[in-house]
Amino acid sequence: MSDTQKRPLSLIIAIFIIGLCLATSCTRANAKTSHIGRAESAYRQARAGYDRLVKSPRLRTDRRAWIHLINRLRRVYLAYPNHRYVAPKALFMMGRCYRELYGYSGNRRDINNAIRRYQVLLQRFPGSHLADDALYALAEIYRHERKTRLARKALEQILRLYPGGDKAKVARRALRRLPKPYRKVSHLHYRRERGSKRYHPQRRLRAVPGARPVLVQEIRHWSAPDYTRIVINTTGPVSYKEGHLLTNKARGSSRRLYLDLSPAYKKKGLRDKILIQNGLLKGVRIAQFRPHIVRVVFDLGDARKTKTFYLENPFRIVVDVFGEGYLRKASWPVHRPHKRIISKKREKLSLAQQLGLCVRRVVIDPGHGGKDPGATGPTGLREKDVVLKIAKKVALLLRREVGCQVILTRNTDRFLPLTQRTAIANARKADLFISIHANASPDRRVHGVETYFLNFALDKEAMRVAARENASSTKRIGNLRGILNKILKNTKVDESSRLAACIEKGVVDRLRKRYRGIKDLGVKQAPFFVLIGARMPSVLIETSFISNRQGEERLRDDRYLGQIAQGIVDGIESYIDSTKPT
């Protein structure tokens, strides 16, 4: 074969080889494009499931729905673990889901799972556009748990590694809001302060578990002629010393109580002085006394007694100030028949019976409100709305049937701190304090009525109910023992337990007349924040389980709410009758 004949053949072979290579590369490109499309499609479907879940009031409180969604996202990640876009998105959404689930469950494992997902994202995909978002989410979790050092470290990483990212600006603002690192004061400086004229011996130190450097954010107060409550809000637990400053009569100084909070810092912009001028207190002053100590001084007027304690979740220090009129307050005597009837059985009379006290003023507290919805039923019924309706019915019946003066802590949908609810009862010198709630349980089958008074919980279920009602708190309940030991010395435990028994019986008897399956769960005791500090018999009633489908359906019925209200009034009447001496 000649050279001229060989050229066309070699040209044809070359063209065939080039075409084969192009076809192979196109096939690979199409396969890669198809693979990317499947990955993004799988992620979009899982993300659509998240959008549906958060929009549904029923699903977003269902743990099984959250776990099902997390498993879908996990399958997407395991199917495409090296995908530069889909894999970090799936990890980030898993962390977000676990974090939101923790808000409903309070289960520590959920928030730990969220932290792990964010950390895996940062380790495997440090160049992802979601890396700075994951760091910021970790900082928020650590800040909420008061792990200030870890929160600061995460925010500083954002500024160091991703200075041009969308989270750099917010991270810079968040860093400014964090408490400054704790700096120890030298022993020499302390001795010099102790030797100075400004040093005064402290009466006692209250060491709070878990105390770290915190910010003193706000001071609130509620006043009545013979009673004032001051609440000091901080960003976390803080230890404090309590004592009195020396009175300088030449300068006209009144008696002064002080609290030294440490380690703590005064928030920028917080007022240095609050004028009260109600006779009991002239005012409250706050200052950065030392580099790590904030001093709060109370200029006492005609105050005869003060009581200081702290509450948690959120942490705050409470100071109650009492006047002479409050301490020697006497209730009105009841009418006694001319002929005294003596029972053959000599029963032990309560203190209220011995004194012949009666009930003229009752404070009714509808639980939760405003930004705190309380428990939510399977179809979205909110506890705060139900208990407000019951409280209004109770107030109407008490005025009409018993002739009591009734005060509602709230008569609209507004948020009210737990400390303010008790302060209202104390300020108005109430004879009874009744907090109304609707119960909830992870087990949807649980139902019934139960009534609580303030004391240590005797079983896990009572502790769980207390944890849920204590301002969405599920942590640190065990630390209440120290403050309760002191508070319960002055709390009317016996009278509160008798009032709880009367109300429990009144509600159960009323409901059983018209409804089937009403379960009497009895009278229990637990450490409810809303009852702490009340200077009158006080109880908390869990009217029904809103988490139970039948319970929620009944709580929607106005007639059912009316029967609960009538039962509470029956119980109060029974308690009033029992206080009359025989």
Q: What CATH code is carried by the domain that includes residue 112?
A: 1.25.40.10
Asked if the structure places residue 239 within a domain, the reply is: yes
432: left (phi over 0), alpha (psi -120 to 50) or beta: beta
Contact 431, 499 (CB under 8 A): no
For residue 118, the enclosing domain spans: 16-177
Q: Are residues 92 and 154 in the same domain?
A: yes
pLDDT-above-70 percentage for the chain: 74
User: How does pLDDT run across 354-386, given as a tens digit for each residue?
Assistant: 444 568 899 999 999 998 898 899 999 999 999
For the ranges 126-130, 198-202, 572-576, the lowest mean pLDDT is seen at 198-202
Q: Are residues 233 and 323 in the same domain?
A: yes
Q: Are residues 281 and 167 in the same domain?
A: no
Compute the Cα dihedral for 404, 407, 408, 411 and give only its sign: positive
Q: How many CB atoms lie within 10 A of CB 141?
A: 21
Question: What average pLDDT does range 267-271 have in this prediction?
Answer: 88
Q: How many CB atoms lie within 10 A of CB 57?
A: 14
Q: Are residues 565 and 425 in the same domain?
A: yes
What is the rounded CA–CA span in Å between residue 201 and residue 199?
7
Looking at 301, 327, 353, the residue that finishes a domain is: 327
Question: What average pLDDT does range 263-271 have in this prediction?
Answer: 89
Confidence of residue 225 (pLDDT cuts 50, 70, 90): confident
Q: Which CATH number covers residue 437?
A: 3.40.630.40
Total count of domains within the chain: 3
- Give the residue with greater pLDDT, 456 vs 151: 151
Q: Are residues 259 and 408 in the same domain?
A: no
Largest CA distance in the chain: 146
Q: Are residues 161 and 225 in the same domain?
A: no
pLDDT at 1: 54
Question: Between the ranges 53-57, 355-359, 525-529, where is the mean pLDDT highest?
Answer: 53-57
pLDDT > 90? residue 567: yes
Contact 292, 183 (CB under 8 A): yes
Q: Are residues 473 and 372 in the same domain?
A: yes
Q: Are residues 149 and 21 in the same domain?
A: yes
Asked if the structure places residue 354 within a domain, the reply is: no
Q: Are residues 460 and 546 in the same domain?
A: yes
- The long-range contacts involving 167-173, CB below 8 angstroms and separated by at least 24 positions, are 167/132, 167/133, 167/135, 167/136, 168/132, 170/136, 171/132, 171/135, 171/136, 171/139
Confidence of residue 181 (pLDDT cuts 50, 70, 90): low
Q: Which CATH number covers residue 259?
A: 2.60.40.3500
**H/E stretch holding 256:** strand 256-262
pLDDT > 80? residue 349: no
For the ranges 304-308, 376-380, 485-489, 503-507, the lowest mean pLDDT is seen at 485-489
